[in-house]
Amino acid sequence: MKIADVLEETYSALSANKVRSGLTILGIVIGISSVIAMLSIGFGAQSSIESSIQSIGSNLIMVMPGAQRGPGVTVSAGRGSAKTLTMEDADAIKELDLVKAVAPEVSGRYQIAAKGQNTNTQVIGTVSAYSSVKNIEVESGNFLSDQNIASASKVAVIGPTVRDDVFGTDADAIGQTIRIDKTDFKVIGMTKAKGGSGFNNTDNMVYVPITTAQRLLTGNKYVTTINVEAQDANSMTSVQESITSLLLTRHNISDATNADFSTLNQADIIATASSITGILTALLGSVAGISLIVGGIGIMNMMLTTVTERTKEIGLRKAIGAKAKDISIQFLIEAIALTVIGGLVGIVLGWAIAFGITYFGVMQTKVSWYSILLSFGVSAIIGIVFGYYPARRAAKLNPIQALRFE
Amino acid sequence: MIEIKNITKIYNTGGSDLYALNNVSFKIEDGEFVAIMGPSGSGKSTLMHILGALDTPTSGKYFLDDKDVSTLTDDQLADIRKSKIGFVFQAFNLLPRATVLRNVMLPLIYEEVNRDERERRAKEALKAAGLDQQHFLHLSNQLSGGQIQRVAIARALVNNPSLILADEPTGNLDTQTGEIVLDTFQKLNAKEGKTIILITHEKDVAEHADRIIVIRDGKILSDEKNNKKRII
């Protein structure tokens, strides 16, 4: 049998029962499109979390007081309670090779009040380099200057959420006064809205000079975090190592396991987050994969029904000279045609769903070639696997009995 | 030419052997029109299956155009059916949602004949079977019983077989339509020189052939020239 004839036979067989073929294809369409859409949500979440981690600064290493406890846990390890890091440590780190900028910070939650309105939020005392290290952009006014730090001015840069809370939406906050823990600060700038970034929302923060914060808010000389920006991504590990050895020396600690500080590499955070979103993606993908298998079983079911229904036709075909091979190829191609058509429609639909999810702002999605190839390959394999048994059954029919079948 | 020698077919039904055919022998020359007649259970269907290369005998030889068909494999039998045998069935067995032309062309797709040639040969066969050209593109379920059986005859003719096997071809038709179909067979035999074997249980139908082989209980009861040939 020529391949063109096989395809023509397939077309006429499938179009003879359009509703049933359509419903069977629908099963595959749903399976494939959900695999693509689910994987796109997973990959989208992964890349949006990664970019959100990137947005808190690039090539960032955070040095925090407290013991090293392994990635993930260190984010909150002894934060603010252990007092081991000082401004002098930060200054020493600044002198290390491959370090681009250093921004120490002290932070704490305080009551902010202005004009009778008040809010409770994170106040960060820091230096001018903080804006470049942490990618903070200023919407209006200015960020803290070196002059502000040196003179311990009572000035503050606020986030847009703080402005909304204490001055009202769209109010001009520059030049106004806010009260932080019994001290008045003059607002000199407002940061650009960034949106929540997972770990802490930079829109809901108040920045003041670190010197002012130590003197008036915390009342001591310690810092809560030292943010270090490395020259480039490749130097991160070596910078992290040299910070560790520098601080061990400065704090007179000989055994690294007893370190009174910990360093957190941005790459580690991304790796941890990626492993979480990877599990999420696998979970979504496998749920969708189940629907793909259900679709495949639908194909097998339809093909088995078809073989029974067309027993007489199979008998006739064998009587007029079709070999077992001709019959099995015909039924196998019918099954594969169903999955391939379903696969193509499913890819388009899955893509459209992913596009829709992004377009209507539900969440970021990312359709990867990998998921398209995967689902198309899987659908073709499903056609072969679930079409094989019915096709064999058809091919093995005895022509005499098949012709007598009622 | 068809020659069967000492054909025996035994079915094993629940431990006991059933002789569907018991030592049957005959010879049919090219261009003969033979009726094989017998009541149901006589073994005529088994004989038709063996003559049609759908089945092989338990013992004995079957030569079709001097080729021994009795010991072939399934695929080899399929090749014999494809090139040497045309079937006409009682139940017509046309593809219901296909056109007349496509039904007739069906055997040729297994012979890998190209499309133009297929169409040419199918039209030729339909003309020989006496179907009007206006019906060629109709679906088979839009035709009358007599027309359907002519399409089936055309399908049996299209591969230019050595032997046309008609299994109760008038069984599902009224007498008048049946006569038309039998007339078609007579014309094919007389004008085109086709070898035709007609399997039936009706004497009236069998009497359209030139020779009648009567079979009963798996054995040949009589094998005689038909002196009372009915011509329409």
Q: Is B88 left (phi over 0), alpha (psi -120 to 50) or beta?
A: beta
Say which amino acid occupies A244. T
Asked if A138 contacts A157 with a C-beta cutoff of 8 angstroms, the reply is yes
For range B202-206, the mean pLDDT: 92
Instruction: With a cut of 70, say whether residue A195 has pLDDT above it.
Output: no
Search chain B and give the residue with CA nearest A17.
B97
Residues of B in contact with A320 (CB under 8 A): 81-82, 87, 106-107, 110, 155, 159
What are the φ/ψ torsions at residue A268 (nearest 5 degrees)?
A: -65, -40
Asked if A114 contacts A177 with a C-beta cutoff of 8 angstroms, the reply is yes
- Report the DSSP beta bridge partners of residue B164: B86, B196
CB contact under 8 A, A321 and B110: yes
How far is Cα B42 from Cα A371, in angstroms, rounded to an integer? 64
State residue A145's pLDDT score.
Answer: 92
Instruction: With a cut of 50, say whether residue A75 has pLDDT above it.
Output: no
- Is residue A394 classed as helix, strand or coil in its secondary structure? helix
Residue whose token pair is 């055994």 = A255
How close does chain A come to B76, measured CA to CA in Å? Answer: 9
State residue B232's pLDDT score.
Answer: 65
C-alpha gyration radius of chain A: 33
What are the φ/ψ torsions at residue A22 (nearest 5 degrees)?
A: -60, -45
User: Of A71, A65, A23, A34, nearest to A354 (Cα)?
Assistant: A34
State the count of interchain CB pairs (< 8 A) between A and B.
66
For range B32-46, the mean pLDDT: 92
Asked if A214 contacts A184 with a C-beta cutoff of 8 angstroms, the reply is no
Instruction: With a cut of 90, say whether residue A208 has pLDDT above it.
Output: yes
The mean of the pLDDT values for chain A is: 86
Asked if B162 contacts B133 with a C-beta cutoff of 8 angstroms, the reply is no
Instruction: With a cut of 70, say whether residue B60 has pLDDT above it.
Output: yes
Instruction: With a cut of 90, say whether residue B80 has pLDDT above it.
Output: yes
How far is Cα A220 from Cα A208, in angstroms, rounded to an integer? 15
- Using CA atoms, how far residue A85 sits from A64, A92, A258, B118, B215, in Å, is 7, 11, 15, 92, 112
How close does chain A come to B70, measured CA to CA in Å? Answer: 16
CB contact under 8 A, A320 and B81: yes
| Lowest mean pLDDT segment, chosen from A203-212, A300-309, A313-322, A370-379 | A370-379
Max CA pair span of chain B: 55
Search chain B and give the residue with CA nearest A16.
B97
CA angle centred on B224, ends B221 and B227, rounded to 5°: 135
Instruction: With a cut of 70, say whether residue A81 has pLDDT above it.
Output: no
State residue A211's pLDDT score.
Answer: 92
The pLDDT-based confidence of A82 (bands split at 50, 70, 90) is low
Helix (H) or strand (E) holding B211: strand B211-216
State residue A74's pLDDT score.
Answer: 45
Instruction: With a cut of 50, say whether residue A24 has pLDDT above it.
Output: yes
CB contact under 8 A, A400 and B89: no
- Is residue A133 classed as helix, strand or coil in its secondary structure? helix
For range A382-397, the mean pLDDT: 89
CB contact under 8 A, B95 and A321: no
- Give the ipTM of the model, two decimals please: 0.92
CB contact under 8 A, A2 and B98: no
The model's pLDDT over B149-200, given as tens digits with 9 standing for 90+, comes to 999 999 999 999 989 999 999 988 898 889 989 999 999 999 889 999 999 9
pTM: 0.73
State residue B151's pLDDT score.
Answer: 94
CB contact under 8 A, B54 and A399: yes
Q: How many CB atoms lie within 10 A of CB B204?
A: 13
Of all residues in chain A, the percent with pLDDT exceeding 70 is 95
The pLDDT-based confidence of A72 (bands split at 50, 70, 90) is very low
For range A106-123, the mean pLDDT: 88
For range A160-184, the mean pLDDT: 88
User: Of B126, B157, B185, nearest to B134 (Cα)?
Assistant: B126
CB contact under 8 A, A12 and B97: yes
State the virtual CA torsion across A293, A297, A298, A302 in degrees, nearest 10: 150
The mean of the pLDDT values for chain B is: 91
State residue A363's pLDDT score.
Answer: 80
How far is Cα A295 from Cα A289, in angstroms, rounded to an integer? 10
State residue A169's pLDDT score.
Answer: 84
